[in-house]
Amino acid sequence: MTKNEVKTFMLRVKSYYQSFIIDEFKTNEWFNALKDYDNSEVNKRFEEHLQSETYGQYIPQISYLTKFLKKVGEKKVTPADIFINCSICGKRLSLQEQEDHYDRCHDIDYINWLSEKYRGKPINKDKYWELEDTAFYRAFLGTLAWAMEQESNVMKQEMYNNIYQDVKLCLQGKGHEIREDRAIEPTIINSIE
């Protein structure tokens, strides 16, 4: 809590308990005791104190307000606090960003592999990253459909078809509306570059 937050909090206590005295010394002491705690959590504990039939009639003690609260530095680490590098592109990401990034990065890497295999050259990956989700998924499915047409091996065609169907189902499960059009822009790779 900041010093201003502590002052505001003490005024809040005073509004419920008129006998609560605020002076400079007490403000400094309360600030020293509360500075390492989160303002919203201390205020929540105060709300609980006010609702208590047993203790609500008494001015809250700092020990009650901070009991079972973790200091800001002691709080659990969240996925947003942990950073890793993408195993495909090497980009530094928070653990929270990792899942969405990895799915897109993997798909772009696969499109690139198909392009190198059937066109003999890589794609411009940055252009694929710039696409909004719907356009990207259309491009991905279009590329899979295109790869099926390029492949003469029936087993590989079936494999691409299975991937196409799996991706389509996955996207529908995520709420994306996908057209059933195998010829989604057959020159999709060229149009994105």
Q: Read off the pLDDT band of 55 (50, 70, 90).
A: confident
CA distances to 84, 118, 137, 180 from 108, rounded to whole Å, are: 19, 15, 10, 21
Domains of the chain listed by start with CATH number? 3-74 (1.10.8), 97-192 (no CATH)
What is residue 83's three-state secondary structure? strand
Task: In whole angstroms, give the CA distance from residue 177 to residue 26.
Answer: 61
Phi-psi region at 96: left, alpha or beta (left = phi > 0; alpha = psi -120 to 50):
alpha
- Average of pLDDT values for 125-146? 86
Least confident of 28-32, 96-100, 124-128: 96-100
Predicted local distance difference test score (pLDDT) of residue 74: 78
- Of the spans 34-43, 85-94, 164-173, 174-183, which averages the highest pLDDT? 34-43
Confidence of residue 193 (pLDDT cuts 50, 70, 90): low
Residue whose structure tokens are 């822009």: 185
What's the average model confidence in pLDDT over 70-75?
81
44-62 mean pLDDT: 92
Q: Mean of the per-residue pLDDT values for the chain?
A: 86
Mean pLDDT to the nearest integer, 32-49: 94
CA distance 16 to 27: 17
Ranked by mean pLDDT, the top range of 32-46, 132-146, 177-191 is 32-46
Residues in the chain: 193
CA–CA separation, 90 and 154 (whole Å): 35
Q: Which run of H or E residues covers position 26?
A: helix 24-34
